[in-house]
Structure 1
Amino acid sequence: MAEATHARRAKGRPDDGRSGDRLFDRELDHLPAEVRWREWMHRVEATIFAASEPVSRETLARIVGKSCSIDLLIDDIREELRGRPYDLIAVAGGWKHLTRPAYADAIRAAVGGNERAGDLTQSEVLVLMCIAYFQPITRGELSSFFGKEISRDLIGHLRGFGLIASGPRSPTPGAPYTYVTTKAFLLQFGFDTLRDLPDFEALEDAGLLSKEKLLAGDIMPDFSGGEGEDAAIAGDE
């Protein structure tokens, strides 16, 4: 037994009784610099590939050396993925492998797809956009913003998709709940943080928003095409 322990120490391995962090070699000091960098790249890419959710910088820092730049490592991985049908994207506060938009139709034709965003009505998209830009915001404030009652059903639909959640209570009389967007919202729309939301000028250029109509409180869609969307907005208290 003593000989086995001595042999482990002679090879530079810690005892089995020590912490798991000490058992894992992050620094790889015994490797040449180029080989060490390549191994860190492989570790990071494998970890992100295996994860179902975006992997944070803090998580990746556990598997590479203290002197390693995560950003430079990601840049090198992305360079190697150039020309591949998928990429490494910063989204929802971490990194995730995502297929390139050019292959969306092929993927949908082969295996279907997540239609979460496509299932939203125009009214719901506008309300979600308003929450994203002005959060935390109450249902009453949303109703005032659009000049039309925003129903609990509409809010519940967005919550059901996991795109919004309850925020802090408002300091206004009655202390109503506010609503904020979620990590799922960032992931669904491909944003790393809320700072990545396009500015109003970009939305205007894309024809998605008119600043004049916004200031006039006239940006709700035309509900004349059917009663379904109208009912989705005009719920009771």
Structure 2
Amino acid sequence: MTKTETSLFAAPPMAEQERMVEAMLFASAAPLSLRDMEARMPHGCDAAEALAYLRRRYEGRGVNVVRVGDAWAFRTAPDLGFLMSHETVEQKKLSRAAIETLAIVAYHQPVTRAEIEEIRGVAVSRGTVDQLLELGWIRFGRRRMTPGRPVTFVVTETFLDHFGLETARDLPGLKELRQAGLLDNRPMPGMDAEDDDDGDETGQTEMFEE
């Protein structure tokens, strides 16, 4: 390959790549993965490196570049969330059945309907699962390689994004949820009493409020 051919395919300067990543994240209605961004950028670009520069540039600003599952997005700085309170829409409270089902999926994923019912001790209505699917907080996972190949459920990036979590591993412990008044003192289905002391403090104490 000649120098002329090389120059034709040279990647843009890193500052320009950073601007590209910034523009894509700003314009996207949903978080973008590195693969999504790199597929839109010119040949030879390094979306991961450009993103690293962009994250540093936005540290301490009113908006930050945050990870949402395997993707990235602009989000309001956590300490400034109170300024957005006037934009809050009417909230619908989930039933206890929906809260328990969501908690089981979040803490036990991937989990089948039969496993959810076994943990809860009661049948799970189709309406409860449909409500969580419509909210976009759970989705269908891979089918189990067992007789009947039952489908599993897992939480979504929308769920993680809504509650400010990077991954399901960042879920608060039951102790934090109860201290915040979001759960009563009855053991949650599938959780032993000693599990109350497990889990890192993440500050996401609004977990099952809505």
Calculate the TM-score normalised by the size of structure 1: 0.61
Q: Deviations over 1:48-71 (max 9, x none)?
A: 111111111112224266374x44
Show the 5 A alignment for 1:109-128.
109=86, 111-113=87-89, 115=91, 119-128=93-102
User: Which whole-Å CA distance do the structure 1 matches of 2:15 and 2:170 have between them?
Assistant: 34
Q: Which amino acid aligns with 1:102?
A: D
Is the Cα–Cα contact under 8 Å of residues 11 and 43 in structure 2 kept in the other structure? Answer: yes
Q: Which amino acid aligns with 1:185?
A: F
Structure 2 portions without partners, runs of 5+ = 197-210
Alignment match, 1:27: 11
Offset from partner CA, 1:46-98 (integer Å, 9 cap, x none): 11111111111112224266374x44432322222233211111113211011
Give the aligned residue type for 1:203: G
Q: Which residue of 1 aligns with 2:109?
A: 135
Structure 1 gaps of 5+ residues are 1-11, 14-22, 29-35, 220-237
Q: Tell me, what secondary structure is at the counterpart of 1:61?
A: helix
Aligned position for 1:155: 129
Instruction: Provide closer, same or farther for how the CA distance between residues 43 and 173 of structure 1 changes in structure 2, counting only shifts above 3 A.
Output: closer
When residues 65 and 123 of structure 1 are mapped into structure 2, their CA distance, relative to the original with a 3 A threshold, is same
Cα offsets for 1:152-189 (capped at 9, x unmatched): 22112111212223344555665544323233223323
After superposition, give the CA deviation of every residue in 1:116-166 in whole Å (9 maximum; x if it has no partner): xx6334542332121123233222321221223322221121112122233
Pairing partner for 1:203 from 173, 177, 182: 173
- For normalisation by structure 2, the TM-score amounts to 0.67
In 1, distance between residues paired with 2:70 and 2:11? 25
| Aligned-pair identity (%) | 26
Aligned CA distance change for structure 1 residues 173 and 185 (closer, same or farther; 3 Å): same
CA spacing shift, 1:26–1:162, aligned 2, 3 Å: farther
- Cα distance between partner residues in 1 of 2:104 and 2:10: 44
Corresponding pairs, count:
182
Matched, 1:99 2:76: yes
Q: What amino acid is aligned across from residue 99 of structure 1 in structure 2? A: T
Give the aligned partner of residue 52 of structure 1.
29
Q: Aligned partners of 2:60 and 2:90: how far apart in 1? A: 24
Q: Please tell me whether residue 66 in structure 1 is matched to residue 44 in structure 2.
A: yes
Taking the aligned partners of 2:21 and 2:72, their CA distance within structure 1 comes to: 10
